[in-house]
Structure 1
C-alpha cells in the first residue's frame, strides 16, 4: 500500500489535536508514525490505497480553524536528521562509531566500515567489542567516563591483521550521566600518507619574522643567528606556546642547509610504534600493510637538511636509544631492515620539560641529553619579555583579522595596560587565542576592557595588585632610640626603595612596575638608578 507523509502547520488552540486525529480516523487513514514539530506543527506518515482519499484528507484538514498549511514531505523529520547525521559522519576523514549506554554500536560511518571491512547493517546493534576487539578502551570510557587518545590496537579478521588508532570521549546527558561514547578510528598506516605534509610545504620564515622589541629577545635572536651557521645540534628550551618551532624554522632558514628539507615532527602526536616507522622508515614486509618497496623515514627524507624533533622529552626509552645511536654514528636502520644507511641531518630538538629532573628520575638518558644539549637556547616566556606585548599583540591582530576577513581593530590604551600585567601562562599561543576570541565576538573598532572582561577570563588585575600590595607586611624604618633622628626625606626614600624593590620582584620591567605604582617607567628607572636597586 502506498505511503504518504504530510506536514500540518497551525496556530495552537485547545482541542485542535483531537480534531486532527478525528479527521484521520473518519478518512480511514492507517497511521504509521507521527512527529510533533517544535513550532506549532506535526508530521504524519500513513498508508492509503486511494489518491482521492488522500486529497479528501488534505481538504478536510485545511478546512479546520487555525490550520495554516498542509503540505507533502518526502521524509519524516527524524529521517532527515538521520540522513544529515550520516552525511556529516561520512564526510570526515576518520572512522567514527557511536556507542549507546549498553555498549552497542548505534552509528558507524563509511570510513570505519572500510577500515573494518564491514557493512553498516552488519554491525549496528552489535556489542562494540565485536568490531574493536576484546578489552577495547572504549568500554572503559563508557564505564568510567575517562576519555582515551590514540590508543594503538590490533585485531584479526578473516585471517588478516587490522592495526588502527582509537580515541574515545564519553557522551553525557544534562544530569552528567554517561549515555554513550563516540569513538574515532584512524587506520594505522594511512596516517603515514598525510602526516607532516603541511610541515614539508610550509613557507620557511626568518629571524626577521619574529616580532619583538625587548632587549632579551634581541640578544636571543643574535645568538640564534650565530649558531644557525654551524651544523651543531641545538636544544630549544621553553614553556609551551613560546615559539620554539618558530626559532627552529628560522635557524634552518639562516643555515647553510636552507636549500634542503626542513621537516618537523611532534614526538607526542604519535604512538611509539608509528613514531619509530616515521623517523626511521621500514622495509617491505616489515609488518602487515607495509608499503611495497618499503618507505623512507624522516631521517632519510631530511638528508642534507634539518629535522626538528618537537617535545623530544616525551619519547620512550627505546626510541631514546635509537636516537642516541643516530647522533653518535650518523646512520639509521629501517624497521625490519639490517642495512646501515648513512644520513647527514642537523637535529634541532625542543622540549618544555625539565630534562635534568627526568635524568634524575631515570626517565631520560643522560648520554642522549649531552648529545642534544650541544647548543642550548632558552626561549623566554611572555611574562619575562612583556615589552614585546604591544608590538606582538597588534601583529597578531592584523594576522587574525586577515584570516577572518575583518577590518583591522586595535587595543585601547586601557586594554593594552591590562594585557601588560597578565602572566600569560600559555605564552604567545594564549595571547593569540585570546585575541582571536575577542575579534570574533567584538564588532567594535577598538577593543575596550569591558570587551576583555566579558569574553575572556582576564580580570581587573590592577585592583588585585594594589590589594595584594596593601596586604603585604608594613614597610618598617629603623628609628634610633637615642641620638639623632633621620631626616624625613631619608625615611621616605627608604620606604620608597623598599616598595619599588618589592614590586620589581613580581613585575620585573620598569613599565610594568610604573603601571602598578601609577608613575611613568622613566620615574621607575630614575629611582632604580638613584637607590641602586
Structure 2
C-alpha cells in the first residue's frame, strides 16, 4: 500500500538511514539483528549481510539491546565502551499490540570527545542569546568568538581550533604580541567549555608586585602577616575552583613564584599563606604572554618544567600586519562601536586612509587600531574620516633609497625608525617602550646610543 502511494518509499528510507549522522541497529524480540547501517558495520568491522540473524551480543561489544527488549524500558544517553572508545548510545523498545517486538539503538556521538566538541559548537551558537549574555555577568567572562572580528583564513582556522580544544581541560598557552586580543580568546575558551557556568578569574601577573602576588594567587589565613585582612582572604585559585583561571603576562612572573605555581599545578591543591592545610583544586589554567619564553628559558629566567606544564595546547595569535585582510572588517567594527559610544555619526572612511592603514606596521596591533579610530572620529571635521584626522606617524612612509644597501643596513634602518616612532608614541617612556618591543631595558639604551636617537 505504501509503495503504491509512494513508489520510491523504500529507496528513500534506506538512503536516509544509511546516511544518517547516527549509527543504527535494530533487533527483534529475541535480540537478533534485523538491520545495521553501513557506518556501524564498518566501525565494528563486520559485513552487513553476515550480521543479520545473529544475536546482537555477538556483533556489538558491551551492547544492552537484548536487555531493553526484555525490560521494555528505554535507555537514553548511556555510555557504552566499544572498540576502545566510550560512546553515547540510545536504546528504544519497539511496541506492537501492547508487547515488545524489538528495539532500535543509535550511537549519536562516536566518543565522549565528539560529544564535548558538539557541546562547544552549540555554546558558540547560543552565545548571542540574551540568557547567555546574562550568564557572562555572573561568571566574569565577557567575550565570545563573536566579539573577535575577522575575515582572514588564518583567524577562521584559529576560531575552529578554539571550538575543538575548549571542551578539554588541558592547559592553554596563548602567545602573541601586545594588542592582538589574547584575553578575548581566553574568555571565549571558557565560555565554550563545560565550565562556562563556573567562575572565570583573571590575574595580570605583570601588574601585581611580586611580594603581593603569592597572597593574591593563593590567599592567606587570618593573621598570616602584618596588615592581613581579618578572617583571611581567598586566593584567585580558590575563587576559580570549578572554573577557569587566566594568568596574563605569565612571562613576567619571578622564578620564586614560578616554583610555587608549578607545585599548585602539579599537586592540584593550594596552601594559603600562613596555613598548614591544603585546599584541593579543580581549575583549568589558561596563560598568555607576549614575551619570548624560549629565550627566557635559555637564560634561566623561566622554568622549563613550568613551560611544559602550561603549554599543553599552544595557541598563536598572529599580529595584524600578518592578516591585513582583517583590517577593513576591524575598521568598520570600531567606527560603529565608537560612534555609538560618542554619539558622533561617521558614515565613511576615505580610501586614502585605508591605503595608509594597509601600509602601516601596526606595532600596537588591534588595540592601536581602535585607539586611532577613536581619535580620528573625534578629529573628523565631517562624517568622513580623512587623512587630516589620523596621526602623522601613521602617514609617514619608511622608504629606503634606491642606493644599494646591505640587508643588515636595511634592518638597522628599520629598527631605528621603529624605536624612534615607538618612543614618540609613548612620550619617551623608555621602560615602557622596551617592554612593548620585547627587549630588555639595557638593550633599549644600547640601541638608542647606537643609532644616536635623541
Provide the rounded CA distance (Å) in 1 between the counterparts of 2:297 and 2:154. Answer: 29
**Is the partner of 1:326 in helix, strand or coil?**
helix
**Is the partner of 1:457 in helix, strand or coil?**
helix
Provide the rounded CA distance (Å) in 1 between the counterparts of 2:280 and 2:142. Answer: 26
1:207–1:469 distance in 2 versus 1, CA, 3 Å: farther
Deviations for 1:382-405, whole angstroms, at most 9, x for unmatched residues? 000000000001101111122222
For these two proteins, the number of residue pairs brought into alignment is: 271
1:250 aligned residue (168, 180, 188): 188
TM-score by length of 2: 0.57
**Is the partner of 2:393 in helix, strand or coil?**
coil
Deviations for 1:44-77, whole angstroms, at most 9, x for unmatched residues? xxxxxxxxxxxxxxxxxxxxxxxxxxxxxxxxxx
1:326 aligned residue (242, 264, 283): 264
Report deviation, 1:456.
3.9
Provide the rounded CA distance (Å) in 1 between the counterparts of 2:340 and 2:141. Answer: 18
Provide the rounded CA distance (Å) in 2 between the counterparts of 1:472 and 1:306. Answer: 54
Deviations for 1:295-353, whole angstroms, at most 9, x for unmatched residues? 11010010010000000011111110111011111000001111111011100000011
1:394–1:410 contact (8 Å) kept in structure 2:
no
1:383–1:277 distance in 2 versus 1, CA, 3 Å: same
1:257–1:201 distance in 2 versus 1, CA, 3 Å: closer
1:346 aligned residue (251, 261, 284): 284
Provide the rounded CA distance (Å) in 2 between the counterparts of 1:365 and 1:244. Answer: 22
Query: Which residue in 1 is equivalent to 2:273?
Result: 335
Provide the rounded CA distance (Å) in 2 between the counterparts of 1:457 and 1:436. Answer: 16
User: Is 1:216 equivalent to 2:151 in the alignment?
Assistant: no
Relative to structure 2, which stretch is displaced further, 284-293 or 317-326?
284-293
Report deviation, 1:433.
1.1
2:353–2:386 contact (8 Å) kept in structure 1:
yes
1:292–1:264 distance in 2 versus 1, CA, 3 Å: same
1:459 aligned residue (395, 414, 433): 395
Report deviation, 1:237.
0.4
Query: Which residue in 2 is equivalent to 1:8?
Result: none
Query: Which residue in 1 is equivalent to 2:341?
Result: 403
User: Is 1:387 equivalent to 2:325 in the alignment?
Assistant: yes
Query: Which residue in 1 is equivalent to 2:96?
Result: none
Q: How do 1:50-129 and structure 2 match up within 5 A?
A: none
2:300 aligned residue (340, 357, 362): 362
Moved over 6 A (4+): 198-201
Report deviation, 1:362.
0.7
Provide the rounded CA distance (Å) in 2 between the counterparts of 1:214 and 1:255. Answer: 24
Query: Which residue in 2 is equivalent to 1:508?
Result: none
Specify which structure has the bigger relative contact order, considering alpha-carbon pairs within 8 angstroms and separated by 6 or more residues: 2
Query: Which residue in 2 is equivalent to 1:303?
Result: 241
2:139–2:197 contact (8 Å) kept in structure 1:
no
**Is the partner of 2:394 in helix, strand or coil?**
coil
2:360 aligned residue (422, 426, 433): 422
User: Is 1:281 equivalent to 2:219 in the alignment?
Assistant: yes
2:370 aligned residue (432, 435, 459): 432
1:210–1:326 distance in 2 versus 1, CA, 3 Å: same
1:203–1:232 distance in 2 versus 1, CA, 3 Å: closer
1:409–1:444 contact (8 Å) kept in structure 2:
no
1:203–1:299 distance in 2 versus 1, CA, 3 Å: closer
Query: Which residue in 2 is equivalent to 1:98?
Result: none
Provide the rounded CA distance (Å) in 2 between the counterparts of 1:256 and 1:248. Answer: 14
Query: Which residue in 2 is equivalent to 1:269?
Result: 207
Query: Which residue in 1 is equivalent to 2:350?
Result: 412
User: Is 1:371 equivalent to 2:314 in the alignment?
Assistant: no
Q: Structure 2: which 5+ runs fail to align?
A: 1-135, 406-454
> Which is greater in Rg?
1
Provide the rounded CA distance (Å) in 2 between the counterparts of 1:389 and 1:217. Answer: 12
1:283–1:249 distance in 2 versus 1, CA, 3 Å: same
Query: Which residue in 2 is equivalent to 1:230?
Result: 168
Report deviation, 1:410.
2.7
Provide the rounded CA distance (Å) in 2 between the counterparts of 1:456 and 1:401. Answer: 23
Query: Which residue in 1 is equivalent to 2:416?
Result: none
Query: Which residue in 2 is equivalent to 1:241?
Result: 179
Report deviation, 1:258.
0.3
Aligned-CA RMSD value: 2.0
Report deviation, 1:438.
1.2
Q: Structure 1: which 5+ runs fail to align?
A: 1-197, 474-533
Provide the rounded CA distance (Å) in 1 between the counterparts of 2:217 and 2:138. Answer: 14
User: Is 1:450 equivalent to 2:369 in the alignment?
Assistant: no
Provide the rounded CA distance (Å) in 2 between the counterparts of 1:410 and 1:235. Answer: 39
Report deviation, 1:214.
0.5
Report deviation, 1:409.
4.0
